[in-house]
Amino acid sequence: MVAELMDGKAVARRIREDVIGRLAALKEKGVTPGLAAVLVGDNPASQIYVNSKAKACEKLGFYSQVIRRSADICESELKGIVTALNDDDRIHGILVQSPLPSHIDELSVTLTINPDKDVDGFHPYNVGMMLINRPTLLPCTPYGIVKMLEHYAIDPAGREVVVVGRSNIVGKPVAVLLLQKAAMANATVTVAHSRTPNLAEVCRRADILIAAMGRARTITADMVKEGAVVVDVGQNRVDDPGSEKGYRLVGDVDFDGVSKRASFITPVPGGVGPMTIAMLMSNTVTATERITAHKV
């Protein structure tokens, strides 16, 4: 068996087409979605992510702000920036790029964001609404995973899903989304992690295996059931002297081996990554629609 590639770039284009249609309807009403990204410090990966988000906004015709501050900013000043964005009618979506410097309480900053503008879906209000299956702004990467499964007609209903990783950004929320009593859900979900004994045995039970632990090539072919769907969320840098940059990106899955056992698999790069940006754009339009509807 050779797995079919789940092309995140192609699916992201479909998401953007939907966003463009909704954007046109907003602009007919004189409304332009606005997204503000706050970047603290000079973390290279964070800079790449924020620049990618800004470029996506520019291509779609959003209003965009990138606010950059040095790593020694104090927490009160950062929260002041967020509060000003809450009050700015041009801004419908706010994200504060993680990670933040260790002297700043990330949760405290997140709590400062107006939940209606929390396009990352990290505010506890939105997390709670997601948990009880009510309409809300959903975390971009988990939401993107569900949309990718939907695009490839992979219905989780009745299937066993194993999520390897328990982060608040991917592991926990994607597990919540897939176990809901809803379309593209109704799965039996197991969350495994670094402390799970018999991890390979647990993974082999999965009809759909989602790898999100942040460890390069941890999931090997012997850990995957024949015909399973494998979603690789990992973005890990490994040394590659032959590369111009001196490194290359690999996932949490040993792609070469696992692709010979799986029925579907996401590549790295080009799989889940593009979906995260696409869902951020979709969330920004959703936030704009809701905020402007309240003002009518």
Confidence class of residue 43 from pLDDT cuts 50, 70 and 90?
confident
Q: What's the distance, CA 289 to chain centroid?
A: 21
The answer on pLDDT for 293 being more than 60 is yes
| Residue 235 a catalytic site member | no
The answer to the question of residue 106 being in a domain is yes
The answer to the question of residue 20 being in a domain is no
Same-domain check for residues 92 and 158: no
- Torsion angle defined by CA atoms of residues 58, 71, 80 and 83, in that order, rounded to the nearest 10 degrees: 40
Residue 213, amino acid: M
Measured in degrees and rounded to the nearest 5, phi and psi for residue 48 equal -60, -45
Predicted confidence (pLDDT) per residue in 209-247, tens digit: 999 999 999 999 999 999 999 999 999 888 888 888 888
The answer to the question of residue 5 being in a domain is no
Same-domain check for residues 170 and 259: yes
Mean pLDDT, the chain, integer? 96
Catalytic residue among 97, 118, 172, 235: 97
Catalytic residue among 53, 147, 172, 225: 53
Same-domain check for residues 160 and 262: yes
The answer on pLDDT for 294 being more than 80 is no
| Residue 65 a catalytic site member | no
Confidence class of residue 295 from pLDDT cuts 50, 70 and 90?
low
Q: What percentage of the chain exceeds 70 in pLDDT? A: 99
Same-domain check for residues 108 and 189: no
The answer to the question of residue 4 being in a domain is no
Same-domain check for residues 189 and 251: yes
The answer to the question of residue 123 being in a domain is no
The answer to the question of residue 6 being in a domain is no
Residue at which a domain ends, from 114, 130, 148? 114
The answer to the question of residue 295 being in a domain is no
Looking at the structure of the chain, the number of domains it has is 2
Same-domain check for residues 171 and 91: no
CB 147 within 8 A of CB 279: yes
Predicted confidence (pLDDT) per residue in 64-116, tens digit: 999 999 999 999 999 999 999 999 999 999 999 999 999 999 999 999 999 99
* Amino acid 44: pLDDT: 83
Residue at which a domain ends, from 114, 130, 156? 114
The structure tokens listed for 39 are 């970047």
Three-class secondary structure of residue 94 per DSSP: strand
Same-domain check for residues 146 and 269: yes
What CATH number corresponds to the domain at position 89?
3.40.50.10860
Predicted confidence (pLDDT) per residue in 174-209, tens digit: 999 999 999 999 999 999 999 999 999 999 999 999
The answer on pLDDT for 25 being more than 90 is yes
The answer to the question of residue 283 being in a domain is no
Q: What global pTM score does this model have?
A: 0.95
Same-domain check for residues 38 and 87: yes
Residues 3-31, mean pLDDT to the nearest whole number:
96
Same-domain check for residues 51 and 169: no
Catalytic residue among 118, 120, 207, 252: 120
* Amino acid 247: pLDDT: 84
How buried is residue 244: exposed, middle or buried, by Cβ count under 10 Å (0-12/13-18/19+)?
Answer: exposed
Domain of residue 52 covers: 30-114
* Amino acid 157: pLDDT: 98
The structure tokens listed for 248 are 């290359």
Predicted confidence (pLDDT) per residue in 258-278, tens digit: 999 999 999 999 999 999 999
Residue at which a domain ends, from 80, 97, 114? 114
The answer on pLDDT for 296 being more than 80 is no
Same-domain check for residues 110 and 213: no
The structure tokens listed for 152 are 């490839």
| Residue 47 a catalytic site member | no
Following DSSP, what letter does each residue of 50-72 receive, concatenated? Answer: HHHHHHHHHHHT-EEEEEEE-TT
- Using alpha carbons, select from 270, 280, 291, 294 the residue that is nearest to residue 62: 280
